[in-house]
Amino acid sequence: ILLTKVSTGFSKKVNENSYTTNIDDVDYLIKTSKDDNKISYIKYKDKLENDVEIKFTNVAQNGEIQDEIFKFVVPSNYDVIRK
């Protein structure tokens, strides 16, 4: 999951509800809704030339997130490949 605050310079405002950013040589388009300015979708072309669109629904903004949601345990039958 990519978490970014689109109004603080991590991204460039294109128009009222569109922002662009580049992360690791990939250009992202971030679109927010017109009525409540919550994220609607992110579009990008990945490094394998796949068009990717992630749509967001039922967005809860600035809510509480428990620390446990970020704890990941690698299953024993998985290999870990580090970049």
How does residue 6 score in pLDDT terms, banded at 50, 70 and 90?
very low
- Higher-confidence position of 11 and 8: 11
Cα-Cα-Cα-Cα dihedral of 10, 11, 13, 17, to 10°?
-100
Q: How far apart are the C-alpha atoms of 54 and 10, rounded to whole Å?
A: 19
Whether 40 shows a pLDDT value over 50: the answer reads yes
Q: Give the model's confidence band at 37: pLDDT under 50 very low, under 70 low, under 90 confident, else very high.
A: confident
This prediction has a pTM of 0.66
Residue, of 21 and 8, whose pLDDT is higher = 21
